[in-house]
Amino acid sequence: MSTITTSDGTQIYFNDWGTGQPVVFSHGWPLSADAFEDQMFFLASQGYRCIAHDRRGHGRSSQPWDGNDLDTYADDLAALVKALNLRNAVHVGHSTGGGEVARYIGRHGTERVAKAVLIGAIPPLMLKTEANPGGTPIEAFDQLRAAVLADRSQFWKELSLPFYGYNRLGAKISEGVRDSFWLQGMMAGLPASYFCIKAFSETDLTEDLGRFDVPTLILHGDDDQIVPIGASAMLSSKLIKGATLKVYKGAPHGMCTTLKDQVNAELLAFLK
Least Cα distance to 221 among 260, 247, 259 occurs for 247
Q: Which helix (H) or strand (E) holds 113?
A: strand 113-119
- The distance in angstroms from the start CA to the end CA of the chain is 31
| Cβ contact 118:39 at 8 Å | no
Asked if 180 is an active-site residue, the reply is no
Three-class secondary structure of residue 144 per DSSP: helix
Q: What is the number of other CB atoms lying within 10 angstroms of the CB of residue 117? A: 26
| Cβ contact 47:18 at 8 Å | yes
Catalytic member of 61, 62, 95, 160? 95
Reported as half-sphere exposure (CB side, CA atoms, 13 A), residue 130 has a value of 0
Asked if 95 is an active-site residue, the reply is yes
Rounded to whole angstroms, the Cα distance separating 93 from 122 reads 10
Question: CA geometry: angle at 161 spanning 160 and 167, to 5°?
Answer: 170
Catalytic member of 34, 54, 76, 224? 224
Rounded to whole angstroms, the Cα distance separating 94 from 100 reads 9
Asked if 224 is an active-site residue, the reply is yes
- Pairing of the two strands 89-94 and 113-119: parallel
| Cβ contact 54:64 at 8 Å | no
Q: What stretches of 164-189 show up as alpha helix (H) in DSSP?
A: 175-187
**Catalytic positions, written as ranges:** 95, 224, 253
